[in-house]
Amino acid sequence: MQIHATIFDHPLTFATDGNCFSPKAVDAGTLAMLNRCTLTKGQKIHDLGCGYGAVGIACAKVAGDENVYMSDITSLTLARENAIANSVPHVNIVQSDGYKTFDETGFDLILCNPPYHADFGVPKHFIEKGFNRLNIGGRMFFVVKRLEWYKRKFIAIFGGVKVYREDGGYFVLEGVKESSRYAVYVRGIK
């Protein structure tokens, strides 16, 4: 199956299948998250939990494909095929369970639409370990439907969070890394 989307003014085509998240169209929450991002050429970006690659491929069209890293625990066959089909063959695609076997650091931007039905251990790992992979001034964006836990976690790690309420019951959260240490430690709270 193929789907089409225009993201950051680039017409894109993605091969999907029934095993993918949102196989019939790019997820509305994902599009809402991307609409909140400001991208520039040369930014180092991580698409965390890339699936078939819509986020990373769209970002690669702006930032440059060599600057984009895409990772997921599942098969990355479709992500690789879609990168080539959309003329961004040099994106870095890595199979990893979150950051467990993914060692790259120095990101300006991390984008994630976390699995909605996982226990909070998965997004906890994504947020904490992702924070450690950001440059100072780097930003992390998550799109979620369950706000309160994520909001508290972003505040504990980043020291604050911007929350954007979107159509369809989505919330886009933006955290900015202002220190090399988690905010709870900066404030002396353990």
Mean pLDDT, rounded, for 143-163: 96
Q: What is the pLDDT of residues 70-111, one digit of tens each?
A: 999 988 999 999 999 999 999 999 999 999 999 999 999 999
Does this model's pTM top 0.85? yes
Q: What is the pLDDT of residues 111-130, one digit of tens each?
A: 999 987 777 889 999 999 99
The architecture in CATH of the region 28-186 reads: 3-Layer(aba) Sandwich (3.40)
DSSP per position, the chain? -EEEEEETTEEEEEE--TTSSS-SS--HHHHHHHHT----TT--EEEET-TTSHHHHHHHHHH-GGGEEEEESS--HHHHHHHHHTT-TT-EEEE-STTSS-----EEEEEE---TTS-THHHHHHHHHHHHHEEEEEEEEEEES-HHHHHHHHHHHHS--EEEE-GGG-EEEEEE--SSS-HHHHTT--
